[in-house]
Structure 1
Amino acid sequence: MKDGETPRKILEVTHLKQYFNVGRADEVRAVDDISFHIYEGETFGLVGESGCGKSTTGRSIIRLYEPTAGRIIFDGEDISSIKGQAELKTFRQAVQMIYQDPYASLNPRMKVKDIIAEGIDIHGLADSEASRNEQVNELLKTVGLDQSHSTRYPHEFSGGQRQRIGIARALAVKPRFIICDEPISALDVSIQAQVVNLLQELQQTKKLTYLFIAHDLSMVKHISDRIGVMYYGKLVEVGTAADIYTYGVHPYTESLLSAIPLPDPNYERHRQRMVYAPQEQTGKVQSLREIADGHFVYCSEDEEALYRQKLSRKKQSVSTGSGAI
């Protein structure tokens, strides 16, 4: 994107709800009225604890789930209007997903070359066996694997290598938007950075846009341009990665930040973990409100002024070097 150019929204999610019926009377509000957008070429991080609705959001976007309510606009088209298999097939070529578990997401009975080429076959992207093999070998090279790996089975690879295979499979159909559904959470810490670096390289070379879902705020901050913090189906704070990490003001965001370990034994010895205690419902209407340019917090109209003051104090505290308030 050129300097001064207005960023283009490739994805707009408006008032998305994803409810599930459990038994006859119970209803689980996995995603409860959230709105956000993602600019073309950026990485939007979605962070929160397990069960908060992050993965459900991703699966609703890719139409693995039919949303209960709301609109999802991808590249100017409302995906709820996609009805036929041909249109859905075109959409799924543009939007791909990298799954959390590299062990469960690969068919153990298929060779690597067939796993990667599955999308190529479905979308008719190779006109011959030679072209198919050439594309598979190029994809293996792109993700840092050798072409000799193409004839092996998933069980012959480590977790990090399997996730690279999953990335190659997603890239095979030349997508523009990839949902990364906790792609590093099942990997060793030493391998996580390698996979994240690979994703960043691919984003630059292939002009990709990411929705990066994770529960590790420090890793999300490293890879993301903007971050949305999610709690029990709600987006509670949205802002740039730097703003959320340095000036996060919602109590739940602060609790996540307080849990991030630092390589400082003295700090860790005295670190106090903040525990988020949800406030009682007051009946006042809450929504994402902009407390600073591009920085949104889920609150009522009365709370908005308080969060603005809190943000101002934090910025002042950081600028004077006295630490966050």
Structure 2
Amino acid sequence: MSKKILLEVKNLKQHFKVNRNTTVKAVDDVSFHIYEGETFGLVGESGSGKSTTGRAIIRLYDPTAGEVMFDGKNISAKKLSRSDRHHVNKNMQMIFQDPMACLNPRMTVADIIAEGLDIHGLCKSKEERTKKVYDLLKTVGLNEQHASRYPHEFSGGQRQRIGIARALAIEPKFIIADEPISALDVSIQAQVVNLLRKLQKENGLTYLFIAHDLSMVKYISDRIGVMHRGKLVELTTADELYENPLHPYTKSLLSAIPLPDPDYEKGRTRIKYDPNMHDYSTESPEWVEIRPGHFIYASKTELVQYEKELSAKESNA
């Protein structure tokens, strides 16, 4: 039985005109798909275009070019029909990086969580609305006493839980988590990620998980796409990416991950990535499936090199 594709991104471009002569290609011809019920990790350093990709998908930006298909509907059209816009708003939600910046400081937690319920008219009475808010607070590890408080009265981890409860309120199919743990203490990060995994299992959610912390992305993701300078440079399953990274940029990111092993750390060498090592003046790179499910952005010369690398690993295994 084939998996259902919930989201498909085709040749997405998001360019920003800085002035008459300068255009920043934040997202440049990116394509991938996400299956229903999976977590797709999108990683890269700051400025790689990963967060812009998420914002273009959910229409916080109008895409410059390309197509985004969600649940069988083209949601990247310049003018969405009323029913399509409602479908997107109801079934696609976002969890932001800075929980304080995205929570209205003048609203109580109850009103923040219930905002989506009010907009979509999902509660028939005040009592039903209150019960729904209390249930959501309990779901994310808070309690009903928190409902009457304001965002500034909570810790960063608690505020992120409120943001998660708000995203869950209207029972979406798909959630874009844009660096949801990078502003939190390390001790709290694992709690939030475990909560997201638990909610996915209970509610059948699909995630686009955007982050720069590769170790956490591997823990939560089924497949991972690596972005650099607006391009998707490698995409495969989480295990394959860690066992057989091919693109030099991916190797550089992986080499930066510290391990809780003093002996290993003493000898760990960082792999520096030099973007100038790719000479594309004679050969144009292409997005190629080098192995089933393992995609790479490379020229023909680089593909030959990557093939040799994979064959050597397989023969030594």
TM-score range, shorter chain: over 0.9
Alignment RMSD: 1.2
Name the CA distance, whole Å, in 2 between partners of 1:211 and 1:157: 26
Amino acid at match of 2:38: E
Name the CA distance, whole Å, in 1 between partners of 2:260 and 2:157: 24
Name the CA distance, whole Å, in 2 between partners of 1:184 and 1:312: 37
Shift of 1:87: 3.2
- Percentage identity across paired residues of the two chains: 62
The corresponding residue for 1:307 is 306
Contact preservation (8 Å) 1:247, 1:315: no
Name the CA distance, whole Å, in 2 between partners of 1:8 and 1:295: 19
Contact preservation (8 Å) 1:154, 1:162: yes
Name the CA distance, whole Å, in 1 between partners of 2:2 and 2:97: 33
- Correspondence 1:42-121 to 2 at 5 A: 42-81=38-77, 82-85=79-82, 87-121=84-118
TM-score, length-normalised on structure 2? 0.97
Amino acid at match of 2:228: Y
The corresponding residue for 2:10 is 14
| DSSP-derived class of the 1:139 partner | helix
The corresponding residue for 1:27 is 23
Q: For residues 18-44 of structure 1, give each alpha carbon's deviation from its aligned partner in whole angstroms, at most 9, with x where no partner exists.
A: 000002211000000010000000000
| DSSP-derived class of the 2:234 partner | strand
Amino acid at match of 1:210: Y
Does the C-alpha gap of structure 1 residues 23 and 87 become closer, same or farther in structure 2, counting only changes over 3 Å?
Answer: same
Q: Number of paired residues?
A: 314
The corresponding residue for 1:282 is 281
Pairing 1:153–2:154 present? no
Contact preservation (8 Å) 1:46, 1:214: yes
Name the CA distance, whole Å, in 2 between partners of 1:107 and 1:261: 36
Shift of 1:283: 3.7
| DSSP-derived class of the 1:187 partner | coil
Name the CA distance, whole Å, in 1 between partners of 2:224 and 2:76: 25
TM-score, length-normalised on structure 1? 0.94
Contact preservation (8 Å) 2:73, 2:84: no
Does the C-alpha gap of structure 1 residues 218 and 316 become closer, same or farther in structure 2, counting only changes over 3 Å?
Answer: farther
The corresponding residue for 2:254 is 257
Shift of 1:270: 1.6
Q: For residues 253-296 of structure 1, give each alpha carbon's deviation from its aligned partner in whole angstroms, at most 9, with x where no partner exists.
A: 00001000011112111211011001233242212211111001
Amino acid at match of 2:53: T
Instruction: Identify unmatched segments of 5+ residues in structure 2.
Output: none
User: Which consecutive aligned stretches of 4+ in structure 1 deviate over 4 angstroms post-superposition?
Assistant: none
- Correspondence 1:136-285 to 2 at 5 A: 136-278=133-275, 279-285=278-284
Amino acid at match of 1:264: D
